[in-house]
Amino acid sequence: MTRLRRVRRWGPGLLLLTPSIILIAVFVYGLIGWNIKVSLSDWRTSVKSTHYAGFAAYKDLNSDPVWWSYNMRHLAVFTVAFIVGTLIVGWTLAFLLDKGVRGEGFFRAVYLFPMAISFIAAGIVWRWLMNPAPGDRTSGLNAIFDKLGLHALENQWYLGQNWGMAAMAMPAVWALSGYIMALFLAGFRGVPEELREAARMDGASEYRVYRHVVFPHLRPVTLSALIILGHISIKVFDLIVAIGGKQVITMVPAVYMWINIYDAHDYAKGAAIATLLLLGISILIVPYLIFTVRSERNA
């Protein structure tokens, strides 16, 4: 095929995509660029200043006592609890539904339900549920545990010194499990029945069928779920503020970024946090993308 004919083939496609390309270039990359520029500037107060200041803001952040011991530690705990929790619950629900039950539609609707409720609202409810009040002021889930005699389960929830942020992940798990369940369910059912039958014919037990036929098929889904949950976790803001406000005890980078930009007007430091968040996200995303592109080439 001649060069011109080839261009005439894919040309229209590129043309159709061009508006989106321009919009993304401006509103994503243009703004990211602006952000990086600000993080390297000396704009540390409400008075705009655009002189180059190198990595001063980043250095400030690194030596900031709340950055590593609170922001990053909290983020790490939250992320692990959120991802592991959602994957386990979502997977379990999908597994339970996989073989088909009467009323599957009802169950699916119930599990997907939490996603429709905005976090500003869910935050208030979960704040009540996770109420850490002691003694005779006990309420929320602690009160239920108390009534059921499960005293060992009563705890400080999101105020816990070391694992408080794992409790903070509970509302997030609640909201996202339904969606992850849907993903996994689709994954389960994407395994052709013939393959399962063939394995059964070969004498494999149901357990083995799952283990050697079904689960390997779930790898791509799990990877996507991991990436998606991970990027949500890094950006989490609404939930944290709705439950814990802007206190150091529940501080995460997205909230600290807000505080720096809008409360302290330290724009460079806020931009530095944003840039670091983006960097963190890309570390998660790049493997996913490489995997996607590669697996498609192989398909």
Partner 1 sequence: MSQLMRKLGVLAVLAAALALPAAGSAGHASAVKAKASCELSVFSWWTGGGEAAGLTKLQAIWNKTNPSCKFKNEAVAGGAGTNAKAVLAQRLQAHNPPDSFQGHAGKELLDYIKAGQVMPIDSLYKQYGFDKVMPKQLLSQIRYKGHLYSVPVNIHRANVLWYNPAVLKKAGITAAPTTWAQFLKDLKAIKAKDSGVTPLALGEQWTQKHLFETILISTLGPSGWNKLWTKGGNWNSGGVKTAIARFDDLLKNYTNSDAASLTWQDAGKLVIDGKAAFNVMGDWADGYFSGSTAGGNLAKKPGKDYKWTAVPGTTGVYDWLSDSFTLPKGAPHAAAAKKWLAFLGSEKAQDTFNPVKGSIPARQDAKKSLYGPYLKWALGQWKSDTLVGSLTHGVVADNAWNTAIDTALGTFIQTHDESSFQKALVTAHGKNA
Partner 2 sequence: MSSLSQTPPIVAPVPRLRRRARSAPLARYALLLLFAVIVLIPVYVLVVTSFKGVLETDASHAWSLPHLWTTEAWSQAWTQLSPNLGNSFKLVIPATVISVVLGALNGFVLSKWKFPGADIVFTLFLFGMFIPYQAVMIPLTTLLEDVHFPAGIPRLAFAHIVYGIPITALIFRNYYATIPNDLMEAARMDRAGMLRTFWSVVLPISMPAFVVAAIWQFTSIWNDFLFAVFIITDPAKWPVTVALNNTTGSLVTPYNLQMSAALLASLPTLIVYVLLGRYFMRGLMAGALKG
Instruction: List binders of partner 1 among 200-219 (CB under 8 A).
Output: none
Is 246 one of the binding residues for partner 1 (CB under 8 A)? yes
Q: What's phi and psi for 41, nearest 5 deg?
A: -105, -175
**Binding partner 1 by CB under 8 A: which of 1, 16, 47, 279?**
47
**Binding partner 2 by CB under 8 A: which of 186, 198, 212, 246?**
186
Is 48 one of the binding residues for partner 1 (CB under 8 A)? yes
Is 30 one of the binding residues for partner 1 (CB under 8 A)? no
> Could you say which of partner 2, partner 1, none residue 273 binds, taking C-beta under 5 to 8 angstroms by partner kind?
partner 2
Closest separation between CB of residue 73 and partner 1, Å? Answer: 11
**Binding partner 1 by CB under 8 A: which of 13, 15, 51, 65?**
65
Closest separation between CB of residue 226 and partner 1, Å? Answer: 31
Nearest to 105 by CA among 177, 46, 182: 182
> Could you say which of partner 2, partner 1, none residue 47 binds, taking C-beta under 5 to 8 angstroms by partner kind?
partner 1
Is 84 one of the binding residues for partner 2 (CB under 8 A)? no
Q: Identify residues 108-167 at the interface with partner 2 (CB under 8 A).
A: 108-122, 124-129, 131, 133, 137, 139-140, 143-144
Closest separation between CB of residue 62 and partner 1, Å? Answer: 15
Closest separation between CB of residue 248 and partner 2, Å? Answer: 18
Nearest to 111 by CA among 168, 176, 169: 176
Q: How far apart are CA 286 and CA 93, in angstroms?
A: 29
Is 56 one of the binding residues for partner 1 (CB under 8 A)? no
> Could you say which of partner 1, partner 2, none residue 76 binds, taking C-beta under 5 to 8 angstroms by partner kind?
none
**Binding partner 2 by CB under 8 A: which of 160, 220, 248, 249?**
220
Residues touching partner 1: how many (CB under 8 A)? Answer: 39
Pick 162 or 297: Cβ nearer partner 2 = 297
Pick 139 or 162: Cβ nearer partner 2 = 139
Yes or no: say if 157 and 167 are a contact pair by the CB < 8 Å rule.
Answer: yes
Residues 6+ positions from 224 with CB-CB distance below 8 Å: 183, 288
Quick note: the x/- pattern for partner 1 over 142-181, rule CB under 8 A, is: --------------x-xx-x--------------------
Q: How far apart are CA 91 and CA 84, in angstroms?
A: 10
Is 53 one of the binding residues for partner 1 (CB under 8 A)? no
Is 258 one of the binding residues for partner 1 (CB under 8 A)? yes
